[in-house]
Chains A and B, each alone.
Chain A
Amino acid sequence: QSVLTQPPSVSGAPGQRVSISCTGSSSNIGAGHDVHWYQQLPGMAPKLLIYGHRNRPSGVPDRFSASTSGTSASLAITGLRAEDEADYYCQSYDSGLSGSRVFGGGTRLTVL
Chain B
Amino acid sequence: QVQLQESGPGPVKPSQTLSLTCTVSGDSINSGSYYWSWLRQPAGKGLEWIGRIHPSGSAYYNPSLMSRLTMSIDTSNNQFSLRLRSVTAADTAVYYCARDSAWRAFDNWGQGTLVTVPS
Q: Are A2 and B46 in contact (CB under 8 A)?
A: yes
Q: Does A24 interact with chain B (Cβ within 8 Å)?
A: no
Q: Are A51 and B47 in contact (CB under 8 A)?
A: no
- Residue-wise, chain B 4-24 has the 8 Å CB interface mask toward A (1 for contact) of 000000000000000000000
Query: What are the residues of chain B within 8 A of A52 when measuring CB–CB?
Result: 103, 105
Query: What are the residues of chain B within 8 A of A38 when measuring CB–CB?
Result: 47, 106
Query: What are the residues of chain B within 8 A of A89 when measuring CB–CB?
Result: 46-47
Q: Does B96 interact with chain A (Cβ within 8 Å)?
A: yes
Q: Does B111 interact with chain A (Cβ within 8 Å)?
A: yes
A45-B96, A45-B112, A51-B101 known; A100-B107 Cβ under 8 A: no
A100 contact from B46, B47, B62, B106, Cβ within 8 A: B62
Q: Does A33 interact with chain B (Cβ within 8 Å)?
A: yes
Q: Which residues of A in the span 44-66 have a Cβ within 8 Å of any Cβ on B?
A: 45-48, 51-52, 57
A104 contact from B37, B46, B96, B105, Cβ within 8 A: B46
Q: Does B60 interact with chain A (Cβ within 8 Å)?
A: yes
- What range describes how many residues of B lie at the interface? 20 to 34
B37's nearest neighbour on chain A, judged by CB, is A101
Q: Does B91 interact with chain A (Cβ within 8 Å)?
A: no
Q: Does B49 interact with chain A (Cβ within 8 Å)?
A: yes
Q: Does B74 interact with chain A (Cβ within 8 Å)?
A: no
Query: What are the residues of chain B within 8 A of A45 when measuring CB–CB?
Result: 96, 109-112
Question: What are 15 sample pairs from A and B whose C-beta atoms fall under 8 A apart?
Answer: A2-B46, A34-B103, A34-B105, A36-B106, A38-B106, A45-B111, A45-B112, A48-B105, A48-B106, A91-B47, A100-B49, A100-B62, A101-B104, A103-B48, A104-B46
Binding site for A on B (CB under 8 A): 37, 46-49, 52, 60-63, 96, 100-101, 103-107, 109-112
Further 14 A-B residue pairs, CB within 8 A, beyond A38-B106, A45-B96, A51-B107? A33-B104, A36-B105, A45-B111, A46-B96, A46-B106, A57-B107, A91-B105, A92-B104, A100-B62, A100-B63, A101-B49, A101-B104, A103-B47, A103-B48
